[in-house]
Amino acid sequence: MFKKNTKDLLLEFGLVIVICGIMQLAIVIIFRLFIPSFMVEDNFIYSLIANFICIFLSYCIYRYISYGKLMIFFKQKSSKIYFFSVNLLTYVIISKWIWGFKRPEFLDDIIIYLMIPLVFIIANLVLFEYQMKNNEIKRSLENYKKYAPVISQLLEDVRRRQHDFKNHLNTVYSLVLVSDEKNLKKTIIQYIDSLDASLENMEKILQIDNTVVAAIIYNKINEAAKNNIEFKYIIEGGCKLPFKNYELSEVLNNLLDNAFDAVLNSENNLKKIFLNIGHLEESCIIKVGNTGERIEFNDIAKIFNAGYSTKEGKDRGYGLYNVKKIVESYGARIQLSFENNYTVFSIKLYN
């Protein structure tokens, strides 16, 4: 379940190749400024010096640059990196061919040979960045359209309750008039307690500082009420999740949809789901648990694979895979555990 996938290995391998290539080119350019004959002919001493400098620079990168943070950055920008790599690979192949047949000419005009592809690659990256931003805006708009009705419904519910509050005041006033002094206190307390129970969820939702989280929870409260499911949640304030809004929506919705499917398809009469978002030391933790049927042992290792599902259906098996993909792009992991009759999915995000 926690093995590195082929894509990550290729990304790391490509990163090493690119860094080594850049270092070698930089060494050649700098030395050519002071030693015109550098690398024109095969020279053991020059090659030894160049390789020694590469090893020293590699050690400095390893010693002073956080590999983990570097890989998080490259995973988040993986689409751009792959696009850049295709352009760079094409140029490297052409340069290698020129180097093999016309090394002196290549070294004499090395600045030109570097500038032309550099301009071409930068132009491609600018266009690619523009396209990526358009795609991100599109996904954000889709997310807004999805939750705008939910937010409107939430606001309408608040307005309705504010309107009803006047009626509740009138009711309390009437209770004072019709109840005898002996039972007045008990009657009013019972009535207010019933109001507190109905207002508790609404008050908790309005205290959530993240609009996306509030909308998702409000939606799931209504869904749980319709299906006779006990849905509880704890959202701690001040926990800054690194996800973009549409990513947060995808992560929480997939985990909660998976939990609702599990309890609805379970023969267990105890239908419970919880969502916790809070702190653990210097990390943010997201936990979603359900009392549905336990995942079979043989399915555990494959549960996060693309297209794999324990349920029948053509378009199933991508929810948890998408969650895993988003979470790992931020240097975190999603884990599956079993705690007190609950199947729990946990995400630990480092600040």
143-195 pLDDT tens trace: 667 666 766 666 666 666 665 566 656 666 566 666 666 666 667 666 666 66
Question: Is 72's pLDDT higher than 80?
Answer: no
Q: Are residues 333 and 214 in the same domain?
A: yes
Q: 256 exposed, middle or buried (CB, 10 Å; 0-12, 13-18, 19+)?
A: buried
Mean pLDDT in residue range 198-220: 79
Q: What percentage of residues in the chain have a pLDDT greater than 90?
A: 12
DSSP state of 4: P
Q: How confident is the model at residue 2 (pLDDT cuts 50, 70, 90)?
A: very low
Total count of domains within the chain: 2
Decide: 83 and 128 in contact? Cβ < 8 Å: yes
Contact 157, 202 (CB under 8 A): yes
Out of 108, 131, 152, pick the residue that ends a domain: 108
Q: Is residue 232 part of a domain?
A: yes
Q: Which domain holds residue 241?
A: 208-351
pLDDT on residue 320: 87
The confidence score (pLDDT) of residue 147 equals 63
Residue 248 belongs to a domain: yes
Confidence of residue 102 (pLDDT cuts 50, 70, 90): low
In-domain check, residue 138: no
Instruction: Report CA 13 to chain centroid distance, whole Å.
Output: 23
10 Å CB burial of residue 71 (0-12, 13-18, 19+) is middle
Residues 103 and 213 in one domain: no
Q: Locate 17 and state its tokens.
A: 């190749």
- Looking at 48, 77, 108, the residue that finishes a domain is 108
Is 150 a member of any domain?
Answer: no
Q: What is the mean pLDDT of the chain?
A: 74
Asked whether residue 42 is assigned to any structural domain, the reply reads yes
217 and 334 assigned to the same domain: yes
Q: How far from 65 is each of 20, 60, 136, 266, CA to CA, in Å?
A: 15, 8, 29, 49
Tell me, yes or no, whether 117 lies in a domain: no
Q: How many residues does the chain have?
A: 351
- For the whole model, what pTM was predicted? 0.59
DSSP classification of residue 115: H
Say which residue the tokens 């039972």 belong to: 183
- Helix, strand, or coil (residue 344): strand
pLDDT above 80 (res 19): no
115-140 pLDDT, tens digit each:
766 777 677 767 777 777 777 777 77
- Asked, for residue 237, whether it belongs to a domain, the answer is yes
What average pLDDT does this structure show over 281-294? 88
The last residue of one of the domains, among 108, 139, 160, is 108
Residue 47 pLDDT > 90: no
Tokens of 349: 């995000």
pLDDT tens per residue across span 259-286: 999 999 888 888 999 999 988 777 889 9
Residue 147 in any domain: the answer is no
